[in-house]
Amino acid sequence: MAPAPAAPPPPPPLPLLPLLPLLLVGRPLLAAPGQGAGTWARFARLPYPEDQLFLHDTFPEGFLWGAGSAAYQTEGGWRQGGKGASVWDTFAHRPPAPSGPATQPAGGDVASDSYNNLFRDAEGLRRLGVSHYRFSLAWARLLPNGTAPLNPAGLAHYSQLLARLRELAVEPVVTLYHWDLPQRLQDAYGGWASPALPALFRDYAELCFRHFGGQVRYWLTMDNPYVVAWHGYGTGRLPPGVRGGPRLGYRAAHHLLQAHAKVWHLYNDHFRPTQRGKVSIALSSHWIKPQNMTEKNIKECQKSLDFVLGWFAKPIFIDGDYPESMRSNLSTLLPEFSEVEKKYIKGTADFFALSFGATLSFQLLDSHMKFQQLESISLRQLLYWISSEYNNPKIFIVENSWFVSGSTKRDDAKYIYYLKKFIMETLKAIRYDGVNVFGYTVWSLLDGFEWHRGYSIRRGLFYVDFQSHDKKLMPKSSVLFYQKLIEKNGFPPLPENQPTKGVFPCGFAWGIVDNYIQVDTTPSQFLDPNVYVWDVHQTKQLIKVNGVFTSKRKQHCVDFAAIRLQISLLQEMHVTHFHFSLKWSLILPLGNLSLVNHTLVHYYQCFVSELLRVNITPVVALWQPMAENQELPVSLAKCGAWENPETVQAFVEYAKLCFTNLGDHVKFWITMNEPSVKNLTYTAGHNLLKAHAKAWHLYDKEFRRSQKGKISIALQADWVEPACPFSKNDQEVADRILEFDTGWLAEPIFGNGDYPHMMRGWLHQRNSVDLYNFHLPYFSEEEKKLIQGSFDFFALSHYTTTLVGWEKEDALKYDHYLEVQMINDITWLHSPGRAAVVPWGLRKLLKWVKSKYGDVPIYIMANGIDDQNMVHDKLRVYYIQSYINEALKAYTLDNVNLQGYFVYSFNDKTAPKYGLYSYVANQYEPKPSMKRYREIIDNNGFPRPETPEVLCPEEIVSCPECHFFRTRKSLLAFIAFVFVAFIVTIFLISYYSRRVERRYK
């Protein structure tokens, strides 16, 4: 038997993870029951993160794109045109149980009123541009009693629908039975619990084939028999509501399978030769993953799929009998097929029709059928399992989507991103896994009655106001998304999706970040003036000789072992800049100059001077907020922190101390590093801006001329993207969040000296209509002049991108104050900490900064991601090279004045899970991400193979202590030569003198 398809290979180091090539080494030609069990191990071996990246590719030519609906969910007209009652009509109309809710959820009496709006629905199909439309025939509309006579009005309705679809060149995919069994059959026979139903169903199908078969190429006998049997006749959760327990549920399923087989054979024997159609059954399934990858758990996962999907699929697609796991576990509960019945049922499907979605696949799945394993929404893995388990059938996805809140009207972003994920997984199943999928059906065309969920959720592409009389269809954002996707037949590669080649300019700052450097002021052993003797006979230890001292030499920077180690690691990385923050709370413990920690200041002096000695530029932040007291001196933290105006002057005094003591070594200052706007009051932000501006002017007036440095503020600036790209409302929300998150502190400094107009306007509006009282302070004209322009460059930290929308969907992720809904694109790669990896967001942010604040020099002061793998941080490797590549696009294509890029973070000791060096057992080890970053630094980007190597002149970092030596190299060489000659001469004189003495003796 041929091996399963190989996993896509990992990409070469740079082409920024191109499309993974399709390697189909071969597929199983003949499946055997249980062969799908290899699915979990296969997907666990696929290369990470390459296999999880978005695939920019198209579907095979001729791929079918459609939408679907079901009669009871959308038709309404339950008493119109002679229609009979169905079990769902009866179920919805039953009086509430004494212990249940006071009112039953509304049923499908009217629903979307599609019965009276046939042309309205057809217009929606035309607008989408679909190739097919799946709908169901209401058995009770055609045969009100479930059997003859035929209802002419029902026949005319469906004939008219099929005619309209033919005019639109839309292929009908027709379901004979979608849960709405005629009530008369339930009353007279007991429904599917009766062995009489298969023959009655065959008669109904024959009528449909005879009247509609000439216009229908794809037939589905029934939808999701699992739900009908288990919840209709076992649990009683759904119509007809019979609580017959497992035994009756399995019996009903037995009859459903017999009914399906009868209809398939009927079509095959009598209608296929002339109508040339195909017949199958729509089977729904969940997906399940093991709690851990043990053989036992994988078997339990296989059993879970057997009990839900295999219950019906194995008899039809393999051997006519139930899965062995069911037979061995259920004993006499499970009916048996005779050998004749097995042969009759086996092979009764012309394709595999699959339904996969929230309602059918998960919400109606009994918890005990998970067998203590974990649910998953991986459609791709399910498709591969079906392909492996059932002889690689042609698969038609006849129902798929998720849902949104019943209150969502137009911008259904959550729905779009689930749709995007499922379609992407289908594409990967085709391109990477060799699964034979030939069509996809989104569920549903329009909002309708959602079974046990009533009208509390929506699944339609088109919005329906159920309270309105005319029930007009209003396109949601998902209509535009799906329409564009159909036009493009997938997600074709676009230039902006492709990695670029090129290099950054000479002098580009390549840096690394450590929030706070490791401070260890323990003196070297050579600074100890005591004398010791070694007790070689007893204790084997050094014993101090009391009262005896040696001369104490002056302390040198090289005495600090911690500094030497950190410098050596930075040199190994080949960075040109190192960014860290000082600890205000330790340098000035009392918050003022009455007590200065001179030991720590000296340590910082040593650290930056040693950086300069190895030609690494120190980038020093005066203050960075941390959890404890915001890293402020305790006295200031207790007195209101930044709420207190006195903190402003305290910061200026602290800044002056740092400029005075470190300024000769530091030419790159950050006043405040990443002040968190999430935890900042408007008053605190007001004072923080004034403190920054005063520190900047202090440096500008008193230190810049002599120290020749530059200074600015570093702001955290993640990109904010509208969840629905077609929505004006979502765009307005994204603009608002950008102003509140970044513009709040950026606009006064880099813009007009005051807060963003949008921010003031929004707060004024909120204060006037709500109970809020958010006061945004005002700057005086003098303060505006002080703050405006207090920068030498724009420094930003960027980590991720967020999606925002205006429609309230999830209360836990909704900000009432800003009226914004946070949305998650589940196709994005996410870190273990749930940070989204969205490289293009950095490029958009850089363009936004340029558009708002002009051609200002920009430094990306921090950019990084957490990665759970402490040794092979593959996610971080991808993250770094992808984000740097987007930064290169901003520089080369968008003409952004980008001057530098810094990775966060240096090591795991100070930033666990973020470091480029691991820290285990007091040892630092470089991770693959460090080596990849070093390679990019050495290449100064991503040069084209044909690009000639550009040798940038080495930039010598200013070092006051080094100036004497660098300007007198020739003199120093001569002195060294003379010194060496003198030593050699003394040695020779001593040597020959001793020889002469021995000769005379």
What is the rounded (10 degree) CA torsion for 805, 808, 812, 815? Answer: 60
C-alpha closest to that of 411 among 111, 725, 817, 720:
725
Q: What is the pLDDT, as a whole number, of residue 28? A: 40
Confidence class of residue 97 from pLDDT cuts 50, 70 and 90? low
Is the confidence at residue 621, as pLDDT, over 70? yes
**Contact in structure between 559 and 527 (CB atoms under 8 Å):** yes
Q: What is the pLDDT, as a whole number, of residue 998? A: 58
Q: Which helix (H) or strand (E) holds 620?
A: strand 617-623
Average pLDDT score over residue span 639-661: 97
Which range among 718-727, 758-767, 889-898 shows the weakest confidence by mean pLDDT? 758-767
Is the confidence at residue 193, as pLDDT, over 60? yes
Average pLDDT score over residue span 88-104: 72
Is the confidence at residue 366, as pLDDT, over 90? no
Is the confidence at residue 26, as pLDDT, over 50? no
Is the confidence at residue 526, as pLDDT, over 60? no
SS3 assignment, position 472: coil
Q: What is the pLDDT, as a whole number, of residue 559? A: 74
Q: Is 168 exposed, middle or buried (0-12, 13-18, 19+ CB in 10 A)?
A: middle
Is the confidence at residue 882, as pLDDT, over 90? yes
Is the confidence at residue 996, as pLDDT, over 80? no
Average pLDDT score over residue span 861-870: 93
Strand partners, 462: 446, 475
Q: What is the pLDDT, as a whole number, of residue 5? A: 43
Q: What is the pLDDT, as a whole number, of residue 554? A: 66
Helix spans in 267-355 (H): 272-275, 295-305, 311-314, 324-330, 339-345
Q: How many CB atoms lie within 10 A of CB 657?
A: 17
- Sign of torsion over alpha carbons 339, 343, 345, 351: positive
Q: What is the pLDDT, as a whole number, of residue 537? A: 75
Is the confidence at residue 540, as pLDDT, over 80? no
Is the confidence at residue 344, as pLDDT, over 60? yes
Residue 993 makes CB contacts below 8 A (sequence gap 6+) with none
Q: How many CB atoms lie within 10 A of CB 923?
A: 8
Bond before 882 cis per omega within 30 degrees: no
Q: What is the pLDDT, as a whole number, of residue 12? A: 38
Q: Which helix (H) or strand (E) holds 623?
A: strand 617-623
CA separation for the pair 108, 335 (Å, rounded): 34
Average pLDDT score over residue span 214-234: 97
Bond before 905 cis per omega within 30 degrees: yes
Give pLDDT tens digits for 822-860: 999 999 999 999 999 999 999 999 999 999 999 999 999
Q: What is the pLDDT, as a whole number, of residue 21? A: 41
Q: What is the pLDDT, as a whole number, of residue 842? A: 98
If you ran DSSP here, which 8-state letter would residue 691 be given? Answer: H
CA distances from 70 to 188, 766, 837, 850, 875 (A): 25, 44, 38, 51, 43
Average pLDDT score over residue span 559-586: 94
User: What is the DSSP track for 12-76?
Assistant: PSSS-S-PPP-------SS--TTGGGGHHHHHHHS-TTGGGS----BPPTT-EEEEE--HHHH--
Is the confidence at residue 220, as pLDDT, over 50? yes
Q: What is the pLDDT, as a whole number, of residue 952? A: 73
Q: Is 973 exposed, middle or buried (0-12, 13-18, 19+ CB in 10 A)?
A: exposed
Highest mean pLDDT among 294-303, 557-566, 969-978: 294-303
With a pLDDT cut of 90, the percent of the chain lying above it is: 80
Is the confidence at residue 735, as pLDDT, over 90? yes
Is the confidence at residue 358, as pLDDT, over 90? no
Is the confidence at residue 963, as pLDDT, over 60? no
Phi and psi at 775, nearest 5°, equal -100, 115
Task: Tell me what the pLDDT averaged over the chain comes to.
Answer: 91
Q: What is the pLDDT, as a whole number, of residue 971? A: 60
Q: What is the pLDDT, as a whole number, of residue 365? A: 84
Locus of tokens 């009489």: 196
Phi and psi at 226, nearest 5°, equal -55, -50
Q: What is the pLDDT, as a whole number, of residue 542? A: 77
Which range among 63-67, 362-366, 647-651 shows the weakest confidence by mean pLDDT? 362-366
**Taking every pair of C-alpha atoms in the chain, what is the biggest distance, in angstroms?**
143
Confidence class of residue 958 from pLDDT cuts 50, 70 and 90? low
Helix 598-613 vs helix 646-662: crossing angle, to nearest 10: 50
Of how many residues is the chain composed? 1001
Average pLDDT score over residue span 652-671: 98
CA distances from 949 to 451, 483, 931, 956 (A): 66, 47, 20, 21
Confidence class of residue 521 from pLDDT cuts 50, 70 and 90? confident
The residue among 892 and 626 whose pLDDT is bigger is 892
Bond before 240 cis per omega within 30 degrees: yes
Confidence class of residue 553 from pLDDT cuts 50, 70 and 90? low
Is the confidence at residue 29, as pLDDT, over 50? no
CA distances from 280 to 261, 262, 310, 641 (A): 10, 12, 15, 70
CA separation for the pair 653, 247 (Å, rounded): 82
Which pair of structure tokens corresponds to residue 195?
């062995």
486: left (phi > 0), else alpha (psi -120 to 50), else beta?
A: alpha
If you ran DSSP here, which 8-state letter would residue 458 be given? Answer: E
Average pLDDT score over residue span 759-781: 85
Average pLDDT score over residue span 587-602: 96
Give pLDDT tens digits for 975-986: 777 777 778 777
CA separation for the pair 690, 677 (Å, rounded): 16
Q: What is the pLDDT, as a whole number, of residue 361? A: 60
Is the confidence at residue 552, as pLDDT, over 70? no
